[in-house]
Chains A and B, each alone.
Chain A
Amino acid sequence: MAVASAARAVEFELPPQQSLWSDAWRRLRRNRFALIATVYLVFLVAVALVSTVWTPYRMSAIGVAETYSPPSAAHLLGADPLGRDLLSRLMVGSQVSLIVGVGTQVLVLLVGVPIGLLAGYYRGWLDNVVTFIINVFYGIPDVLVAMIMVFLLGPSLTNIIIAIVATRWMDMARLVRGQALSLREREFVEAGRAAGAKPFKMLFGHIMPNAMGPIIVQATLGIPAAILFEAFLSFLGVGVQPPTPSWGSMANEGVQAIQYAPHIVIAPSIALSLTLMAFNFLGDGLRDALDPRSRR
């Protein structure tokens, strides 16, 4: 009798059932690095938004400070080789990085998810064709393809995003295909099919929601990759065109003057590294939070 009531008492102490998402959110909050990263990213988005309406100086105004001048009270980060205010340019540069990072991943989602779903769910010749194309794309070095594409299309922000998507969509397609392959064998899919769900409903109503965790992680980790890509292209001079500042091209300008004005290369380098780090920590945190089995 006593044993039975003790057992019931234990049963009552079980926490209320929680959804995957609230569970994940609870785990994410406990991850200190992911939390700090989130705070930083919110700050970065705020900076980017503010810089669309206000910067300390006009970012393209030449000669507002002495050229190459080091940080001072009037110019907190100093000035670049043309005497432009570095802080203002850094702020505007955050727009470019965020637009490229997020924009690329939105397009990658739009391209990769349907292709992956179709290939994984229907298998057969469609899957073979998709897998072959994915493998061909993986066989060619991505930065070089992007450089060639920007070269052929002409350098603009849109074309850079297109070029990065062209070299990044396979990651998402491959992941979603794998998820769809395993999910299509599960009972709820069979039940859905038996209930007469239309193909569209099957793919986007049943399979996709169940693959959402890995998709979100992949998209988050894809953002820093895209930002890095844009920085590479701009560093080499085939990216965003002047006078629009990009952290990559700012670093390139700074490298020329590294001996006597190191602040010009240090400022964008640190901004770039912190941003990439924040997205990587957030992505890792999301991975741990959404997939409790992969605890490190």
Chain B
Amino acid sequence: MFTRGTLIYIAQRIVLIGFTVLVVSSVVFLGIHRLPGDALFNEKVRGAAYIALLHQYGLDKPLYVQYWNFLVGVVTRGDLGESLVNRGLKITPLVVRELGVSAEVGGMALVFTIGLGLLLGVFAAVRQNTWLDYALTTTSVIGYSMPNFVIAAFLILLFGVWLNNVTGGTFYYQLGAWHGDLGQLWLPAFALGFPYASIVARLTRASMLEVIRQDYIRTARAKGLRESVILVRHALRNALIPVITILAPLIIGIITGSVVIENFFGIPGLGKEFAQSILNRDYAIVIGVFTMYAAMVGAANLLVDLAYVVIDPRIRY
């Protein structure tokens, strides 16, 4: 499956990802340090104490020295520095912990997206031009026209306020536990995944319609196979290939969507940290989280490209 060429390709891509991450974090670093004022601007410390603080964080050095120290820290120790607002908070462990939380919510959203999208898409294709098909196609336009926070708001209203809670009314995500409470997790995951499920459904429907008209499906029918076997084993497998092409933008969409959803539900993940650090003007964390995001997106793109090789043996790198 993975030939030598593929391995070389993977290596190249990893180098490229590293390069992109470096460029992105540099741009953010330099852009942020161009802003007027400094991180201690609001702290009402003046005189010697102020200079001592600046020195402690290395902010009194020239910009290129700061940048060099930042780079050396990132490359050699994976150290993204310290928070400037919450004194003494190391950013790397923080970001790694939050990444775990985000991955859990995002992973579940992805399961929703793909599961629901495939199911609806196949149903719409099989019952083409019936009321079910029209209902599903119209719903999918509505689905991707609703911002995820609107879906989240209506879900909370429906379950939290009107039906008076499945989740105990709270969306507090337990810290320390290695995974969240599933009962709390499915609402945010659904709100995050639903808009993309509509897109997957549309695409699955279109490509299923194309595939089920082909001769090999007629042959399978003629052999007397059960309809469910034909649909899943013969048709869906080939209908999946165009669906995989949107998997990469889908994952990126879920990552960015999580910024909104995590803030909405108060989930202590990477997305919440990103928005909060921007609002708090905590430059060090902004740079750290953004670097993390760039790496994640690069990795997601690479994984999707490798998924092609697994599913379609004709594709080689």
Is the Cβ of A251 less than 8 Å from the Cβ of B153? yes
A232 B157 Cβ-Cβ under 8 A = no
Check if A277 sits within 8 Å of B275, measured CB to CB: no
Chain A nearest CB, measured from B174 CB (Å): 22
A216 at interface (Cβ–Cβ under 8 A)?
Answer: no
Is A141 touching B293 in the complex (CB atoms < 8 A)? Answer: yes
- Taking residues whose C-beta sits less than 8 angstroms from the other chain, chain A's interface range is 35 or more
Given contacts A144-B274, A284-B141, contact A237 B279 (CB under 8 A): yes
B47 within 8 A of A: no
A281 to B303: give the CA distance in the assembly, Å.
33
**Is the CB of A91 closer than 8 A to any CB of chain B?**
no
Task: Take A148-B31, A255-B264 as given contacts and tell me if A277 and B161 are in contact as well, using a CB distance cutoff of 8 Å.
Answer: no
Does B294 belong to the interface (CB within 8 Å)?
yes
CA distance A152 to B27 in the complex (A): 11
Which listed residue, A33, A136, A224, A255, touches B153 by the CB 8 Å rule?
A255
> For the complex, what is the distance from the CA of A238 to the CA of B281, rounded to whole Å?
12
| B142 CB contacts on chain A under 8 angstroms | 273, 277
Report chain A residues within 8 Å CB of B275.
147, 236-238
Q: Let me know if B147 and A232 touch, CB within 8 A.
A: yes
- Is the beta-carbon distance between B31 and A276 smaller than 8 angstroms? no
Residue among A140, A280, A284 with max Cβ neighbours from chain B (10 Å): A140
Q: Is A273 within 8 A of B150, CB to CB?
A: yes
Mask, A30-69, CB within 8 Å of B = 1, is 0001000000000000000000000000000000000000
> Residues of A at under 8 Å CB distance from B?
33, 136, 139-144, 147-148, 151-152, 224, 228, 231-232, 235-238, 248, 251, 254-255, 258-259, 262, 265-266, 269, 272-273, 276-277, 280-281, 284, 296
Q: Which secondary structure dominates chain A's binding surface?
A: helix
Asked if B180 is at the interface of the complex by the 8 Å CB criterion, the answer is no
Question: Which residues does chain B contribute within 8 Å of A224, judged by CB atoms?
Answer: 145
| CB closest chain-A residue, reference B27 | A148
**Measured between alpha carbons, how far is A262 from B153 in the docked complex, in Å?**
9
Residues of A within 8 A of B256 (CB): 141-144
Known: A236-B259, A273-B145. A144 touches B293 (CB 8 A): yes
Residues in B260-308 with C-beta less than 8 Å from chain A: 260, 263-264, 274-275, 278-279, 286, 290, 293-294, 297-298, 301
Is B150 within 8 A of A251, CB to CB? yes
Q: In the complex the two chains form, is B147's CB within 8 Å of A238's CB?
A: no
Complex formed: what's the CA distance from A271 to B187 in Å? 23
**Contact B145–A151 (Cβ < 8 Å):** no
Chain B 4-33: CB-based contact to A (< 8 A → 1; otherwise 0): 000000000000000010001000100110
Cβ–Cβ < 8 Å partners of A231 in chain B? 147, 149
Contact B147 A139 (CB under 8 A): no
Q: A136 to B20, Cβ gap below 8 A? A: yes
| A237 CA / B297 CA spacing, docked (Å) | 24
* Contact (Cβ within 8 A) A280 B145: yes
Residues of B within 8 A of A (CB): 20, 24, 28, 31-32, 34-35, 138, 141-142, 144-147, 149-150, 153-154, 156-157, 160-161, 206, 252, 255-256, 259-260, 263-264, 274-275, 278-279, 286, 290, 293-294, 297-298, 301
- Cα distance A238–B161 in the bound complex, in angstroms: 28
What CA separation (Å) do A139 and B278 show in the bound complex? 22
CB distance from B105 to the nearest CB of A (A): 16
CB proximity of A248 to chain B, nearest CB, Å: 8
Contacts of A140 in B (CB 8 A): 20, 24, 294, 297
> How far is A276 from B141 in the complex, measured between Cα atoms in Å?
10
A248 vs B263: C-alpha distance in the bound complex, in angstroms? 14
On whether the beta carbons of B274 and A139 are closer than 8 Å, the reply is no
A251 CB, min distance to chain B CBs, angstroms: 6
Report yes or no: B157 in contact with A262, Cβ–Cβ below 8 A: yes
Cross-chain pairs A/B with CB under 8 angstroms, 19 sampled: A140-B20, A141-B293, A144-B256, A144-B290, A147-B275, A152-B31, A152-B35, A232-B149, A232-B260, A235-B149, A237-B275, A237-B279, A238-B275, A259-B160, A262-B161, A265-B157, A276-B146, A276-B147, A277-B145
B150 touches A141 (CB 8 A): no
Judging by beta carbons under 8 Å apart, are B286 and A148 in contact? yes
* Chain B residues positioned under 8 Å from A141 (CB to CB): 252, 255-256, 293, 297
Which residues on the B side are within 8 Å of A136 (C-beta)? Answer: 20
B141, B147, B160, B161: residue with the most chain A Cβ atoms closer than 10 Å: B147
Give the shortest distance, in Å, between A250 (CB) and chain B (any CB): 12
A143 neighbours in B (Cβ, 8 Å): 256, 259
Q: Given A140-B24, A141-B297, are A258 and B157 also a contact pair (CB < 8 Å)?
A: yes
Q: Are B279 and A238 in contact (CB under 8 A)?
A: yes
Residues of A within 8 Å of B260, CB to CB, are: 232, 235-236
Report the minimum CB–CB distance from A112 to chain B (whole Å). Answer: 18
- What chain B residues lie within 8 Å of A142 (beta carbons)? 256
B297 touching A236, Cβ below 8 Å: no
Most buried by A among B28, B160, B301: B28
Cα of A254 to Cα of B157 in the assembled complex, Å: 12
